[in-house]
Amino acid sequence: MSPFAFPRPTALAHTWLTALLRPGDHAVDATLGNGHDALFLAQCVGVEGKVIGFDIQAEALGASSRLLESHGIPPHCYEWHQRSHAFMGECVKQPVKAVMFNLGYLPGADHGVITEADETLAALHAAARIVQEGGMITIVCYPGHPGGDREKNAVCEWAGRQGDGWHVVHYEKHVTLRPAPMLVALQRKEKGR
């Protein structure tokens, strides 16, 4: 039996959203990448729900589609946009239960193509408008690559300004050899709670 280990930020985000999402919910993967978060969301919301995903790289949309297809997720259960997550507000008109961000770059692709703080902030503003009561926004930040630290700081500052309508949590390992990924999560409070 192995000793306890603190979960990776992505795994912790999945744990929290597993407890939150139900079949028929709508969710957003703001940064498709290789599709792992999109697959997770699709499995949570089922065939009655929908996952809406964003990525600027065509290879990310293709990889995400192939991954979901290989797991038997029907095409009507997801909708991809080859656009920056900054355009989320233009593309998502219905309330959603969750928005996931996994920032940085597409693993296995050009590491020079990264999410940028200004576009991420625009996407976070949009996410805050579309998340329904009780819903959650999760943001995994990677300060260990060029530009990642600036983006992490911008996300943390934004989260700290969201006010009384939100529960805000920061999960980050300290005393590491290099900057560790961190999770920022926000849950919209329900009225009367």
Residue spans of the domains in the chain: they are 9-107+114-188
Instruction: Check residues 116 and 124 and name the one with the higher pLDDT.
Output: 124
Return the bridge partners of 98, or none.
27, 136
Under CATH, which architecture does the 9-107+114-188 domain have? 3-Layer(aba) Sandwich (3.40)
Q: Give the per-residue pLDDT at 187.
A: 98
Q: Given this model, what pLDDT does residue 113 score?
A: 62
Q: How confident is the model at residue 114 (pLDDT cuts 50, 70, 90)?
A: low
145 or 154, greater pLDDT: 154
Side-chain half-sphere of 185: how many Cα atoms within 13 Å? 21
pLDDT score, position 115: 75
pLDDT average, residue stretch 42-46 = 98
C-alpha triplet 169, 174, 175: angle, nearest 5°: 175
- Mean pLDDT on 168-175: 89
Number of H helices and number of E strands within the chain? 6, 7
- The burial class, CB within 10 Å (0-12 / 13-18 / 19+), for 99 is buried
Cβ–Cβ under 8 Å, residues 67 and 80: no
Reading across the β-sheet that carries 96-102, which strands appear in turn?
78-81, 50-54, 26-29, 96-102, 131-141, 182-188, 166-172
Tell me the pTM: 0.93
